[in-house]
Chain A
Amino acid sequence: MRYLPLTPSDRQAMLAVIGAKSIDDLFADVPAEARLDGPIHGLPNHASEMAVERHFSNLTRQNMTASHTPFFLGAGAYKHHVPASVDHIIQRGEFLTAYTPYQPEIAQGTLQMLFEFQTQVARLFGCDVANASMYDGSTACWEAIGMAGRITKRSKAVLSSGLHPHYVSVAKTMAQYTGDTLDTALPELSPATDSARLLGAIDGETSCVVVQYPDILGRIEDLSAIAAKAHEHGALLIAVVTEPVALGAIKAPGEMGADIVVGEGQSLGVGLQFGGPYVGLFACKEKFVRQMPGRLCGETVDAEGKRGFVLTLSTREQHIRREKATSNICTNSGLCALAFSIHLTLLGEKGLRGLAELNHGLAVQAADRLSQIAGVELVNDTFFNEFTLKLPKEARPVVRALADRKVLGGVSLGRLYPDVDALANGLVVAVTEAATMEDVETFAAALQEVLA
């Protein structure tokens, strides 16, 4: 067994030091009726590296991969090109096999990286401060709602209908146990968002308004009026960004008055990976920092006066505050945060803006091309790299038929909102730099064929 260094004679020598006759003696505290005599029945025994690899090779071939096919899925996870050096660096053992940096003298690599990451996220979101990451965008979104509740001491959250339905579901799951009230609605296939509904719902009981930017249908809207109304009533504005590349092209939510900005960082550095692990981004105004969940890295000096970094403000966290903690979160998404940070460092401001421009340009061309197909309507007036098409028939079977033609042609709203007839014909299409105009043509031809 290649991962186990002890030899039989080592084991004998160690048992002698311990004063035990056999390994079974060391399990003497396990009640006899719960002891297993041998390997568990019905499970295979150990396998060679080659055998395991072969098994996975066989399974991986049963999947249609994004790189080998015209690909247009988004809705919270985006296919972007990740530079080769990102994956190289995150596989360095000093990053990959390190623990949470609780011993700062020998974890400055991770800590400095986190400090850089926090600064990058804060700047990208237009906020004062950011934490060292959360599990993913959906859990970060709920944590933000909880944080707004602690700050305002209120429990009614108003959720935009443009918020990713999975994020809404996660919030609903949690709210049924915390006693929070969620004011939700379904989106409509129209260019206008539901900001009028949000403005009408904000009152003196409201803890926060949650708006996704760009939203689930790809629409972009100025958040300033919602921020102003929320602040007027002592509520907070939480903005949710599932596609951070967009912020290379459009205003940061913080600039428009958002108090807390959370997001999904998967687009930068982290691959699609069938949904995880991803990296939750979490930023806010400085005055709220003590109510933030998750780990925070801060700058300080060592005993010789040299700059160094430590995890700080940890009294907010579960390992100290226990049942009074701001959250039960323990693990962050360190390695994905590293990948995000490296990718953003490689891009820099110039690269991010260029990448955003490229995404937007391709998306505009694709939207124009696809909406030329008879019966296909573009829903959006505004969008970044993702838009919604209204098809002349139910989108879900169309997506399957496209897959039969080796085109992964977007996310049907029927998948996200089952049993909502008004949304059944909606198809959300994302176009990133990874798509070529040939891909768009292939998609258009296949769609035309399927709709015919």
Chain B
Amino acid sequence: MSTINQSGWKPEMGSAGEAGPATYTGNKALMLEEALIFEIGTTGTTGVDLADAPKVTPRLGNLARHRDIGLPGLSEPETVRHYTRLSRQNYAIDLGFFPLGSCTMKHNPRLNEKVARMEGFADVHPLQPVETVQGALAVINELAVWLIKLTGMHAVAMTPKAGAHGELCGILAIKAALEARGDPRSVILVPESAHGTNPATAAFAGYAVENIPATSEGRVDLAALKARLGPDVAGVMITNPNTCGLFERDMKAISDAVHAAGGYVYCDGANFNAIVGRVRPGDLGIDAMHINLHKTFSTPHGGGGPGSGPVVLSEALSPFGPIPFTERHADGHYTLVEEETASARHPHSFGRMVAFHGQMGMFTRALSYIMSHGADGLRQVAEDAVLNANYILRSLEDVLDAPFAHSGPCMHEALFSDNGLAEGFSTLDIAKGLIDEGYHPMTVYFPLVVHGAMLIEPTETESKATLDQFIGAMRSVVQRAKAGDPMLKSAPHHAPRRRLDETQAARKPVLVWREPEQAVAAE
């Protein structure tokens, strides 16, 4: 089983069940347990030194806070240790391969972090006079120009805070455009394989959501879609490349049909990494598409955000996009179109989506990444991402059911199902087995159209040696699942925690810490 891989490192199969002796602390050498700040800190401790407050007569009305807040403090060394210990219980891209499908967990360049922390970006207030923030506005504008050119679209709304927020922006632009022409419509069509955010967004904006069926190939059923189009359909939301990892060959025909029926086409751009530099969504008839800067353009995921979701818009939708946005003038200086100037400069805007100007800290990082790669490098990004995914697809399809392997090459991610595993074994067991092998699992049970889906997205920032070792580990775990290995059923064994009781967590939610005696009293 053990083979020397290309990086020369010899993987050893660990032997099962060697837990070792129990320790007094519960620690296992470098695996350190850490209590909660409420258990180790006190309200009388602080890790900051403050100047003495000037003696003044308070102007707080009668609202001075007397009751204890209950916020424990730690000294600086304790604080650093607390969080450093916590950090070591996390898996991360910096530690290893993170093939989470649809999430594009690529390397996060540290140059991005460096430029985002430059004082002129990190230490400016969003409401400073525009004359004092020309450099910040330039960053937003330069990134906007890149995004427009990379997508072949007409304009971009920079303020949405994340992908789902971008979806909302696009759908609101569609709604505003329809209302402006006196043709309010009530239905948004969404494929069954869509991200959950798509139907949630359409519903949030007041639309009824209807499913579009897929073909056996895993693509949108164009005939069924055409049959459903009509005067009540405001638009479609389509992910391309789709969540089965396939390019929607009929995208242009879909767009043409939707436009002919008076609707608009929203594209979920979560998977833009597969086509950046090779295909421009504008050439496919898209009217709006969000771009997850934290996916395609390498800004860090940060354990669940912050994200950033600028939305590129077609000429038809551009007049309805949100405020504020930047404008570059002939002499090179920048202004903002916001409430004050909107009625003159952008009268059809559907309004404001956020306070201030969007995720500036993500704009600097994304622009740094985009400039580093350039037009040629971004094209190579898509090519390597697609190459890596196809390499995984073809290296595993003999041991794992790949329901759409016959549908042509995959794009940036490879989709498998749990067919063929031993009775009682499922995708979850494979995922947990991969944890013991030192990997973050792939996306599991999504998309919903495939039973026990496993969606593997390697991204372009992984070497062939990394992929080869992962393929070996996958084959091993899959064989164990086919053989019904009970040790796999109880995996992970080597992680900081064993499988967690999610049922208990949901039945009796404990969402905040309470002093033990208080908790007892409450029962």
Contact = CB atoms under 8 A, between A and B. Distances in A.
Interface stretch (B8-16, B388-396, B418-426, B473-481): B388-396
Given A62-B138, A108-B496, A328-B200, A166 B504 contact: no
A47 B371 contact: yes
A123 B204 contact: no
Contacts of B379: 36, 38-40
Contact of B163 (A299, A313, A331): A331
A354 B368 CA distance: 39
B1 interface: no
A46 B55 CA distance: 57
B350 A173 contact: yes
B193 to A, nearest CB: 12
B124 A66 contact: yes
A367 B359 CA distance: 32
Contacts of A66: 123-125
A116 B90 contact: no
Contacts of B354: 135-136, 138-139, 166, 170, 276
Nearest to B302: A335
Interface in B202-232: 202-206, 209
Given A62-B138, A83-B48, A105-B500, A333 B305 contact: yes
Given A77-B356, A83-B48, A276-B161, A93 B368 contact: no
B383 A13 contact: no
Given A108-B89, A220-B60, A63 B135 contact: yes
Given A87-B117, A322-B200, A335-B303, 18 more contacts: A18-B409, A29-B409, A39-B378, A62-B135, A65-B119, A94-B92, A107-B89, A123-B70, A138-B354, A139-B353, A252-B65, A276-B354, A297-B511, A319-B446, A329-B164, A331-B162, A342-B79, A348-B42
Nearest to B172: A177
Contacts of B399: none
The listed residue with most B CB atoms (<10 A of its CB), out of A1, A17, A36, A109, is A109
Interface in B60-79: 60-74, 76, 79
A399 to B, nearest CB: 6
B371 A19 contact: no
Contacts of A94: 87-88, 90-92, 94-95
A334 B304 contact: yes
Interface string A341-377: 0101111111110110110111011010000000000
A190 interface: no
A276 B358 contact: yes
Interface residues of B, number: 204
Contacts of A344: 71
Contacts of B380: 1, 4
A247 interface: yes
Interface stretch (B257-265, B271-279, B311-319): B271-279
B497 A302 contact: yes
A46 B511 CA distance: 47
Contacts of B202: 323
B45 interface: yes
B372 A47 contact: yes
Given A6-B460, A53-B114, A30 B279 contact: yes
Majority DSSP secondary structure for residues of B touching A:
loop
Contacts of A217: none
Interface stretch (A198-206, A227-235, A266-274): A266-274
A342 B431 CA distance: 32
A419 B340 CA distance: 8
Given A99-B304, A104-B500, A64 B197 contact: no
With a 10 A CB-CB cut-off, give which of B175, B352, B431 has the most chain A CB atoms: B352
A318 B197 contact: yes
B457 to A, nearest CB: 12
Interface in B75-123: 76, 79-80, 82-84, 86-95, 98, 100, 103, 105-109, 111, 113-115, 117-123
B307 A331 contact: yes
25 contacts: A3-B106, A18-B387, A29-B249, A47-B374, A55-B371, A56-B364, A76-B356, A90-B302, A94-B91, A105-B492, A166-B356, A272-B126, A274-B357, A299-B513, A300-B505, A300-B510, A308-B500, A310-B505, A315-B506, A327-B200, A331-B307, A346-B76, A348-B71, A351-B73, A360-B53
A100 interface: yes
B301 A97 contact: yes
A80 to B, nearest CB: 11
Contact of B59 (A38, A53, A177, A383): A383
A418 B375 contact: no
Contact of B108 (A96, A120, A297, A355): A96
Interface in A375-420: 380-384, 399-400, 403, 408, 411, 415-416, 418-419
A295 interface: yes
A408 B133 CA distance: 12
B512 A357 contact: no
